[in-house]
Structure 1
Amino acid sequence: MCVSGLFLSAEKVSDLGLILGRPGRPYSVRMVASAWDWLRSKKPLVDAFYASPLLVVSLPSMTSGRSGTGAWLFALLTVGLIGPLVLRRTFPRAVFAAVAFVSAVQCLLDVEIVAGNIAVLMGLYTVTTAYPFRWGLAAALVCELGVVMATYRYALSGSNSEYVFAMMTVVVAGVWLLGLHMRTRRAYLRSVEERAERLERDRDNEVKVAMAAERARIARELHDVVAHNVSVIVVQADGASYAIDTDVVRARQALSTISATGRVALAEMRRLLGVLREDDDAGAFTPQPGVGELDELVEQVRSSGVPVVFEVDGEPVVMSEGRQLTVYRIVQEALTNTLKHGGPGATVSIRLRYAGDALEVRVEDDGRGAAAPDDGRGHGIAGMRERVAVYGGSVHAAPRAGGGFEVVARIPVREEVGAS
Structure 2
Amino acid sequence: MFGRLRAWSGRHPRVIDALWLVPFLLISLLNMVMVGAGSTAWEAAGLEAWWFAGLGVLLFAPLFWLRGRPLTVFVIISVTCFLQWLLGVPPLFFNVSVLVAMYGVASRRPLRWAVAAGLVVELGLFLVFVSPLEAGDEAGFSTTSAFSVAIWMAGIYANTRRRYLEGLEERAERAERERDQQARLAAAAERARIARELHDVVAHNVSVMIVQADGAGYAIDRDVEQARRAMQAVSATGRRALAEMRRMVGVLRADDAPGEYAPQPSLAQLDELVSQVRASGLPVDLRVSGTVRELPEGEQLTVYRIVQEALTNTLKHGGPVSRATVEMEYGVRDLLLRVTDDGRGASAREHEGGHGLVGMRERVAMFGGSVEARPEVGGGFRVVARLPIGGAGAERAA
Pair in the same fold by TM > 0.5: yes
Matches within 5 A, 1:138-287: 138-152=116-130, 157=135, 161-247=137-223, 251=227, 254=230, 266-272=295-301, 282-283=337-338
Provide the residue aligned with 1:83 in structure 2.
61
CA contact (8 A) 1:129 1:180 kept: yes
1:243–1:250 Cα contact (<8 Å) kept? yes
- AA of the residue aligned to 1:56: L
Note if contact 1:240-1:254 (Cα within 8 Å) is conserved in structure 2.
yes
Alignment-mate amino acid for residue 197 of structure 1: E
| Structure 1 residues not aligned, in runs of 5+ | 1-12, 21-28, 285-420
SS at match of 2:12: helix
Q: Identity of paired residues, percent?
A: 40
Shift of 1:102: 1.4
- For residue 240 of structure 1, report the CA deviation from its aligned partner: 2.1
Number of residue pairs aligned between Structure 1 and Structure 2: 252
Over alpha carbons, which structure has the higher Rg?
1
Deviations 1:256-282 (A, max 9, x none): 976799798953211345579xx9971
* Pair 1:200–1:280, CA change in 2 (3 A): farther
What corresponds to 1:72 in structure 2?
Answer: 50
- Where does structure 2 lack aligned partners over 5 or more consecutive residues? 43-47, 242-265, 267-293, 307-333, 340-398
Aligned ranges 1:15-414 → 2 under 5 Å: 20=3, 29=4, 32=5, 34-40=7-13, 42=14, 46-63=16-33, 64-65=36-37, 66-69=39-42, 70-152=48-130, 157=135, 161-247=137-223, 251=227, 254=230, 266-272=295-301, 282-283=337-338
CA distance in 2 between counterparts of 1:127 and 1:280 reads: 67
CA–CA distance in structure 2, aligned partners of residues 280 and 133 of structure 1: 66
Equivalent residues of 2:130, 2:141 under 8 A apart: no
Measure how far apart 1:162 and its partner are: 2.5
Listed one character per residue, the Cα deviations across residues 298-338 of structure 1 (whole Å, up to 9, x for unaligned) are: xxxxxxxxxxxxxxxxxxxxxxxxxxxxxxxxxxxxxxxxx
Contact 2:31 2:93 in 1 (8 A): no
**1:225/1:268 contact within 8 Å kept:** yes
Q: Which amino acid aligns with 1:234?
A: I
Q: CA deviation at 1:108?
A: 2.2
Q: Structure 1 residues 175-184 or 242-251, which shifts more? A: 242-251
Shift of 1:130: 1.6
Larger RCO: Structure 1 or Structure 2 (Cα < 8 Å, ≥ 6 residues apart)?
Answer: 2
Q: Which amino acid aligns with 1:167?
A: T
Q: 2:351 maps to which residue? A: none
Structure 1 residue 150, shift from structure 2 partner: 1.1
The one-letter code sitting in structure 2 at the alignment partner of 1:210 is A
SS state of the match for residue 112, structure 1? coil
Query: Quick one: which amino acid aligns to residue 12 of structure 2?
Result: L
Distance in 2 between residues matched to 1:182 and 1:155, nearest whole Å: 37
CA displacement, residues 277-301 of structure 1 (integer Å, 9 cap, x when unaligned): xx997157xxxxxxxxxxxxxxxxx
In structure 2, relative to structure 1, the CA distance for the partners of 1:141 and 1:113 (3 Å cut) is same
Secondary structure of 1:55's counterpart equals helix
SS of equivalent to 1:282 = strand
Task: Indicate if the aligned counterparts of 1:48 and 1:85 stay in contact, CA closer than 8 A.
Answer: no
Find the aligned partners of 1:282 and 1:156 in 2 and give their Cα distance.
95
CA distance in 2, matches of 1:260, 1:106: 97
Aligned AA (2:138): E
Contact 1:107 1:153 in 2 (8 A): no
1:60–1:34 CA distance, 2 compared to 1 (3 A): closer
Counterpart of 1:405 in structure 2 is none
**Equivalent position amino acid for 1:37 in 2:** G
| Distance across 1 between alignment mates of 2:17 and 2:25 | 12
**Alpha-carbon distance change, 60 to 36 in structure 1, aligned in 2, over 3 angstroms:** closer
Q: Which amino acid aligns with 1:106?
A: Q
Contact 1:61 1:75 in 2 (8 A): no
d(CA) in 1 for partners of 2:181 and 2:105? 39
User: In the superposition, relative to structure 1, how do residues 267 and 103 fare at CA in structure 2: closer, same or farther (>3 Å)?
Assistant: same
Q: How much does 1:119 deviate?
A: 0.4
- Residues 148, 34 of structure 1: CA spacing in aligned structure 2 closer, same or farther, 3 A cutoff? closer
1:11-39 Cα offsets, whole Å, 9 max, x none, are xx9xx7xxx4xxxxxxxx4xx55533321
TM-score (structure 2 length as normaliser): 0.55
Question: What residue identity is the alignment partner of 1:282?
Answer: L
Distance 1:128 1:156, change over 3 A: farther
1:211 and 1:226, CA in 2 relative to 1: closer, same or farther beyond 3 A? same
- CA distance in 2 between counterparts of 1:196 and 1:169 reads 40
- The residue type paired with residue 191 of structure 2 is R
